[in-house]
Chains A and B, each alone.
Chain A
Amino acid sequence: MKYLDLKQVQKRLNTRIVKNNILQYIFLLATIFGLIVLAILIFRVFTQGIGFINLDFLTGRLSTDANRAGIMGAILGTFWLMVVVIPITLIIGIGTALYLELYQKNGRIQSFIQTNISNLAGVPSIVYGILGLTIFVRALDFGNIVLAGGLTLSLLVLPIVIVASQEAIRAVPQHLNEASYGMGATKWQTIRRIILPAALPGMLTGSILALSRAIGETAPLTVIGIPALIIPFPEGIFDKFTALPMQIYYWTLDSSLVDEYANLAAATIIVLLLLLFILNSVAILIRNKFQQRY
């Protein structure tokens, strides 16, 4: 009994293959679309700002005079923010993911925390700004120092890190865990030696996206209140500060007062993008080195 008519199949096959080939190019175009926009954006920013990047600009202090202004203070501010954000989000994020995926057996509690996290991931950054202002700046009386900003940004990106880490843990095949438990390994040993190494690349992907976001985030910092003019460099996480995106924000806003500020903003964007690029490259190198299909 033949159900498949070979001639029909043959005929259809050509359309199927053509469809596949055409869509392949559409998919490629879709991928490239984003890159084209990015190229235009970067081109505009570069042509506007590249002429203003020089050593004085990079290492100089902030100034209201466009000819003198430098962004070392903002670079250091961003640096100290990351010193707070990176360890906190990685430790708490991966910890929470491990707890939810591997320790919490009670489905109700698990699903409660999970719902809570995915909801937090959707809470707009400006709301975190209000939270940070109320809790860190005012209630704990930190003032608008790096620590307050860093903690606020940490809370903001934590859900992203948690969700990505969970996905990565889930992608580790169950039979690897079985093999480890079968050797008499304890839960923590299995996590540390099998699950974490296998899941780390996926965790890094999520963390990269999260940190990129934290570095470029403006809205919560505006709510926390970053001085528009602060000249001394921050020397630690307890100092007041400005950060690169804040500087871009202020300069773009004030470009209607001083035209050159728009160029300074463009130059600062270049620096910020470069910073993100370096950070991403390092992390992606790590990720590619370990990525594995089972």
Chain B
Amino acid sequence: GSEEDTENESSGNTSADNNEEQESESSSDESSEPENEELEGSVVIDGSGTVYPLMSVLAEEYMLNVQQGVSVEVSRSGTSAGFEKFLVENGTDFNDASRLIKEEEKAKAEELGIDVKELKLALDGLTIVINPENTYATELTEQQVIDIFLGEYTTWSDINPDWPNEEIQTYGPNENHGTYEFFYENILEEQDLVESANLQQNYSTLVTLVAEDPNAIGFFGFGYYDNNKDKVRAVKIDFGEGPVEPSLDTIAEDGPYANFTRPVFTYLNTVMAKEKPQVLDYAIWVMENVNDFAGEAGFAPIPEEEAEQLANDLKELK
């Protein structure tokens, strides 16, 4: 309660008098204090919907407490559609991506003379979920998960004779999502999903479907599980060293859940960054603060050194 109240107050105050106070609060003060400049203009960000929750929290914090004169617009057309808007003349300043930039995209950037800087933001853990009524399949091995989604098992009793003789229903986000791509490429190693898999475009639909079907098993990003713990149950995965429950702690780069973990990025157009001080300032601020906000958005932080390194790289662009 009281924390919120103070936040509300500070959001209500946008006058210049408050600047000192806010800057001392903000963790970016070390870098921006010497210049103490008032920036204005806009920062345009598009790209992955998976990264959006994190990026939007960062953008809002920056606008409210760091640079009130700057407008950071965050869109979410998807990684690839975002790159299309990014890799054109006068394109977007950042593109969020739930995957690495592709070769074609790199080539296009070179052709346009856009120097692209890759910024790793956070880590997302792919979470396997089941219906809360399902009290037996709470622990599975990595291979069992793979086999379920490849259609090797049709009923639960195929996995374990003690489990009910009911048909397994598989769910997941559809091909449009980076999450699917990761699951398909990195976990299933490019083997086709079972024909009957119910793949959805919409996460709300997906959560509801799993929550309603007692024989459901599905996969999606940790953030979606984190917010729906009352509706779905996460499966502990055994990667060979005992079952691991996905959590912000286990989804670390070298953590026990690493096999099901992927990084998410944002790509910066450094040409823009050099032209527009607010873009660069924002980029630096993001890398200095991203780890403070990752958890709030359902992501695990990247190693502190890596973030610092990236921030320092950016400062050299000045």
* Chain A positions 242-280 with a Cβ under 8 Å from a chain B Cβ: 252-259
Cβ–Cβ contact B60 & A63, under 8 A = yes
Cβ–Cβ contact B4 & A67, under 8 A = yes
A15-23, A170-178, A210-218, A229-237: which lies at the B interface? Answer: A229-237
Per the bound structure, the CA–CA distance linking A64 and B73 in Å amounts to 13
Cβ–Cβ contact A229 & B4, under 8 A = no
Contact of B71 with A by CB under 8 A: yes
Cβ–Cβ contact B75 & A256, under 8 A = no
Please give me the residue from chain A that is nearest to B42 by CB atom. A240
Per the bound structure, the CA–CA distance linking A63 and B58 in Å amounts to 11
As a 0/1 sequence over residues 47 to 84 of chain B, the CB contacts with chain A under 8 angstroms (1 = contact) are 00000110011011001000000011111110000000
B residues near A253, Cβ cutoff 8 Å: 202-204
The answer to whether residues A231 and B60 also contact, given A68-B8, A253-B203 and a CB cut-off of 8 A, is yes
* Chain A positions 62-79 with a Cβ under 8 Å from a chain B Cβ: 63-65, 67-68
Cβ–Cβ contact A64 & B56, under 8 A = yes
As a 0/1 sequence over residues 127 to 138 of chain A, the CB contacts with chain B under 8 angstroms (1 = contact) are 000000000000
Number of residues of chain B lying within 8 A (CB) of chain A: 30
A residues near B72, Cβ cutoff 8 Å: 229, 231
Per the bound structure, the CA–CA distance linking A279 and B4 in Å amounts to 36
Cβ–Cβ contact A228 & B227, under 8 A = no
Please give me the residue from chain A that is nearest to B53 by CB atom. A257
Cβ–Cβ contact B203 & A229, under 8 A = no
Cβ–Cβ contact A232 & B76, under 8 A = no
Per the bound structure, the CA–CA distance linking A72 and B131 in Å amounts to 39
B residues near A163, Cβ cutoff 8 Å: none
Partner of A258, one of B11, B76, B207, B227: B227
Chain A CB within 10 Å — which of B71, B223, B298 has the most? B71
Cβ–Cβ contact B204 & A229, under 8 A = no
Cβ–Cβ contact A254 & B8, under 8 A = no
Contact of B7 with A by CB under 8 A: yes
Please give me the residue from chain A that is nearest to B228 by CB atom. A256
Per the bound structure, the CA–CA distance linking A230 and B75 in Å amounts to 9
Please give me the residue from chain B that is nearest to A61 by CB atom. B11
The answer to whether residues A64 and B57 also contact, given A228-B76, A255-B204, A257-B224 and a CB cut-off of 8 A, is yes
The answer to whether residues A256 and B204 also contact, given A228-B52, A228-B74 and a CB cut-off of 8 A, is yes
Contact of A227 with B by CB under 8 A: yes
As a 0/1 sequence over residues 190 to 225 of chain A, the CB contacts with chain B under 8 angstroms (1 = contact) are 000000000000000000000000000000000001
Cβ–Cβ contact A230 & B203, under 8 A = no
Known: A64-B56, A225-B85; 15 extra A-B contacts, CB below 8 A, are A63-B11, A63-B60, A64-B60, A67-B8, A68-B8, A225-B46, A228-B52, A229-B73, A229-B74, A231-B71, A232-B71, A256-B203, A256-B204, A256-B206, A256-B228
B residues near A (Cβ < 8 Å) are 4, 7-8, 11, 46, 52-53, 56-57, 59-60, 63, 71-77, 85, 202-204, 206-207, 223-224, 227-228, 298
A residues near B (Cβ < 8 Å) are 61, 63-65, 67-68, 225-232, 240, 252-259
30 A-B interface contacts by CB (under 8 A) = A63-B11, A64-B56, A67-B4, A68-B7, A68-B8, A68-B11, A225-B75, A227-B75, A228-B52, A228-B56, A228-B75, A229-B60, A229-B72, A229-B74, A230-B74, A231-B71, A232-B71, A240-B73, A255-B204, A256-B203, A256-B204, A256-B206, A256-B227, A257-B203, A257-B223, A257-B224, A257-B227, A257-B298, A258-B227, A259-B227
